[in-house]
Structure formats: C-alpha cells, structure tokens
Chain A
Amino acid sequence: MHMQSLAQQAKNLAEKKYSSEELTHSYLERIKHFDDTLNSYITVCEEQALATARHIDKKRAQGEQLGPLAGIPIAQKDIFCSKGVRTSCGSKMLNNFISPYDATVIERFNHAGAVMLGKTNMDEFAMGSSNETSFYGAVRNPWDTERVPGGSSGGSASAVAAGLASAATGTDTGGSIRQPASLCGLTGLKPTYGRVSRYGMIAFASSLDQAGPMARSAEDAALLMNVMAGHDPKDSTSSERASEDYAAQLDQNLKGLKIGLPIQYFADELDNSVQTTIEASLKELEAMGATLKDISLPNTQLSVPAYYVIAPAEASSNLSRFDGVRYGYRCENPEDLDDLYTRTRGEGFGDEVKRRILVGTYALSAGYFDAYYKKAQQIRRLIKDDFVNAFSEVDIIAGPSAPNTAFKLGEKTGDPIVMYLEDLYTIAVNLAGIPAISIPAGNINSLPIGLQLIGNYFEEEKLLAIAHQFQQRTDWHLQQSPIFAR
C-alpha cells in the first residue's frame, strides 16, 4: 500500500479497504527499516502520527464526511514550524528549537486531517542543491545510495521516492523542490510567488521562497495544492487572488498548446543524454497535440549571478534573528553581548550558511549596494521581462529541470560555484515569481531526469493538467527504485 498513489490511498481509506492506522503504521515500519540508510527524516513523530490516524479512523467510522487528505501520512520539510515538535531547519542553530506554533501550511494539513509522519531532512536553512549541508548529515538518493537526492528539499524527495511517506512538502527558493524532484523521479511543483502562505516557514530569501508539494504524480500534487494554496492574512505577501480546485481541472486537452523551448536551455553545454531524454518527452507532448516553438530568454545566463546576490542579501537579513537571545542555540559563557552574537552565530551556522551571510552582507554594505544589490534587482526585472515577452508567443515553456542526473556525494562540494550551476534552469523562475513543475521524463543509466514546465503567473492549474495528461500516457512517474521496493 505504501507505493500506491495518494489519490488511490484516499479512495481506499474512504472505502475502508484499510485504515489510516494501518497505512501510517506501514510507513513508520518502513522508516524504521530503511531510514538509517537514507537519513531522510530528522524527527519522526510516531506517537502523534498514530494518534491522528486513530482519530481520523474513528471519525470515518462514525460516518463523518472527510476530505481526500484525511488519514493520509505526509512528511513535512523541517522548515515549517510545527507546534510542540522540533523544527531544526537542518541546522545546529535550531537543533533545540521546539516551535510554539504551527506554520499555516501545517495548520492546513492538520485541518484536512492529514497525518504528520515527521520532519524531513534538508540543506541547512534551505541553502544547497544536494542535501549535503545539513547538520544532521547528508541524505541519500533511493535510486543509488552513493548519490545525492538533490536539495534543499532532499529529505522530502528521498522519503517519497523510497515509499517512506505518501507525499511531502518542500520549499523552493532557487529550485529546491524541482531539482530534487528531478533527481529522485518525483513530481514537484513550485507555485506562483504568493500562492502558498509563508507564515511559519523559516525564511531564507523572502522575495523568492515558496512552499509546494512533492508527490508521486501530478494528481497527488494537485490534491496537496488544494490543501496548501490560498490567501493567508498572516502573510503580508500572500496573494488575495482566489485559489482553485486543482484536482478538478486535470482533464484538459493539450490540442493547440504552444510550448516554448528556450534556445539558451538547449545550448551546446547541455549533456547529450539529458537533451535526448528531454526531447523524447517533448515529442510525447507533441503527439498529444502540442506544438513546439523555439524562443529566446536572452538574460538566462545572468540568473545565477543575480540570484547569488539577491538570495544571500535577503538571507543575511532573515538570518540576523538567530542571535542566541530568544530561542535556539546559544554559545557557552559569552563574555559580552557582541561575543554572544558572534560566537552563537559562528558556532551555530554551518560553512555554506556563513558564506552566504557574508556575501549578502557585503552586497548590501555601504559603497557596494548599487553595484551589487541594486544591479541584481535590475537584472531581475530584465529576466522577468524575458518571460513576459515569451508568454505573449507561447502558453508554457519547457526544458530540463537539472543539467544532470543525481551526482555522487562529495562530487560537487569542492567549489561552491559548481554546485550553484546545478540550479541553472530553475533559478530564473524564482526571480520572476512564476510557477514551474518538474515531472519524471526518463531514466539515464537507471537514474531519473525531470522535464520542467514553466507557466505564467497563477497558471499552476495548467501545469498540473499538462503533467497529468503526460502521466496518463507515460509511466516514468510510476517507476520505483528496486532497492526500496520491498
């Protein structure tokens, strides 16, 4: 039952084929059995999970009408504050932080009756593309445990791909849902900026961060979006635009759909086997009635430099709250206030986080603000304009989600820039604030690779529908790693 789609599990629970307690227990057993290898969870909430499951089973037995997520075991990325449960953000800084409140995302899942299996591992403070920077150790890819699952939502990706959860939440600031989805063979959606509430979601870069679903199918992702999306008055950047019933709009015809292929995404540097696989998946979409058209996003190359000014700058502001005063780590025997701050932060943060705080501080400091931060924001406008122009010619934009399949642990940790280029295809989407989805599109040497579909503002329902139609005709999304299939 653990590898059934969430949609199927919801049906089975409604028809009482098995109980939520049985389903939850099954995942908890698999976590005990397999997670020592994968390290996808930081905190497992066994008692709480079973208590919720039993509570939902009771409600169902009493004939109450329950939604599709009721009793479904979900994993939550450890970036969402969860009341009474440790919320670490993958960092020593929050290793002892028991959140006094629930993030809106978690509250919504609770309201829907979902079971929280636990909090998943992630790159520290969401900064990374391989889940190797976590204080709790690296996460492994279920397809090959010598390889990374991607990041920063690596724990969520690994857990869902290995059947240690029905689905999971992730967050995406520069590709942190889409790239791990691609590397682990999952469907991962980054919604439009403002579509999902950021209240209680530990902030990395406030103008880029967005929470989204990571699941084994577009239909499952749509069911999660129905819970996650919508206006939240507690998040002042939350969109007031009404959200949709994403699961009700999946059956759309692809006839006449115009798909733009940026020439910059298919340049010479793109690995041959990735290109071949992506092109085959595009042919599939053509066979379903779509037309392909070459387009240009001229400022694509500037997205990595612009992001690596804006994101660290915003992070340096957001992470200034970690000071050892009100919560989290505090250094021992501070001599004075300055020592409290500098040593708490020096000891509590890992190297990548410190590096980004320093880059961000530099970019915002007197004398450098115009050359770096303001310049990056102007480049950001140009990148957004590229997309706006493209969407006047095409309906969606397609390309690879990542430049490669899962790489080996340690392979890219030597030079930060090599790691930063992992996000080449995903970053511009965050800068513009538009939605994008990664769906499994093939295997190269038994490792998954994802196709990324990028949509216009608030068109995630279109992306989910196209993904769903693709998944009706192909079965890449149904493949499971043989290592964890039992």
Chain B
Amino acid sequence: MSISKQDIEKIASLARVDVKHDEIDEVASRITSILSMVDQMQAVDTEGVVPMANPLDARQRLRPDQVTETEGEANRELCQSIAPATQDGLFLVPKVID
C-alpha cells in the first residue's frame, strides 16, 4: 500500500499537523514502510473475532451525577494562568468567524 504525497497532505490536514513541502516525500516513504509492515495483519483470518478495545474488556464506569468540584473561579484562574492568551475568563484565538 503506497502512500502518495496527496494522501499525506490529506491526513496532515485531518490531523492539523503542518508537514513542510520538503518533508512530504520522506514522510510518505516512511509511512509507506510502516503500513507495509502493518499489512502482515491482512494475512490472518479474523472472521468472527470480537475486537478488543480495553485489555480487561472493562466497561466505562460512570460516577454519580453530583457536583463534586466546587472551587469555581479559583480553579479557572489557576488553570488559565498558564494559557497563551486569555481575556475575561475566555481563551483567545485568531478570529474564526468573519
């Protein structure tokens, strides 16, 4: 399964990761070889095998629907103290809507 430059550009866009033009060929070739290695799996018959998402086949545990974190403002201030740009308790990003 050979990965083309266009494939890389599409995946990179989905993943929102910038891949520079002069890097694309090398990235494509490395990913092709990883996917070739991974293709060994296709030789195995897995008809009827239940996919395993969690090693203990555990179910997602839910907690009671009660408010347990009451620090409010103090917590937000603490968590936002390390943000690149904030204002009035909001995170700032470049304009999204024109």
Chain A residues near B (Cβ < 8 Å): 96-98, 100, 193-194, 207-208, 233, 236-237, 239, 299, 301-302, 304-306, 308-309, 316, 320, 323-327, 330, 334-343, 345-347, 349, 354-355, 357-359, 361-362, 365, 371-372, 374-382, 384, 415-417, 420, 430-434, 457
Q: Is B83 an interface residue (CB 8 A)?
A: yes
Closest to A358 in B: B11
Of the candidates A98, A345, A434, the one whose C-beta lies within 8 Å of that of B16 is A345
CB atoms of B94 and A309 under 8 A apart: no
A-B pairs with CB below 8 Å: how many? 164
CA distance A341 to B30 in the complex (A): 24
Given contacts A207-B54, A301-B40, contact A378 B31 (CB under 8 A): no
Closest to B49 in A: A378
Closest to B95 in A: A336
* Neighbouring A residues of B79 by C-beta, 8 Å: 100, 326
6 interchain residue pairs of minimum CB distance:
A433-B55, A346-B18, A377-B51, A378-B46, A341-B16, A342-B18
CA distance A160 to B94 in the complex (A): 45
Q: Is B37 an interface residue (CB 8 A)?
A: yes
CB atoms of A100 and B82 under 8 A apart: yes
CB atoms of B17 and A349 under 8 A apart: yes
CA distance A395 to B89 in the complex (A): 56
Q: Is B2 an interface residue (CB 8 A)?
A: no
Contact with A along B15-46 (1 / 0, CB 8 A): 11111100000010011011101111110101
CB atoms of A381 and B52 under 8 A apart: yes
Q: Is B96 an interface residue (CB 8 A)?
A: yes
CB atoms of B95 and A416 under 8 A apart: no
CB atoms of B56 and A239 under 8 A apart: yes
Task: List 10 other contacts, CB 8 Å, given A342-B12, A354-B27, A382-B46.
Answer: A302-B40, A308-B37, A309-B38, A342-B17, A345-B18, A365-B11, A375-B42, A381-B49, A417-B34, A433-B55
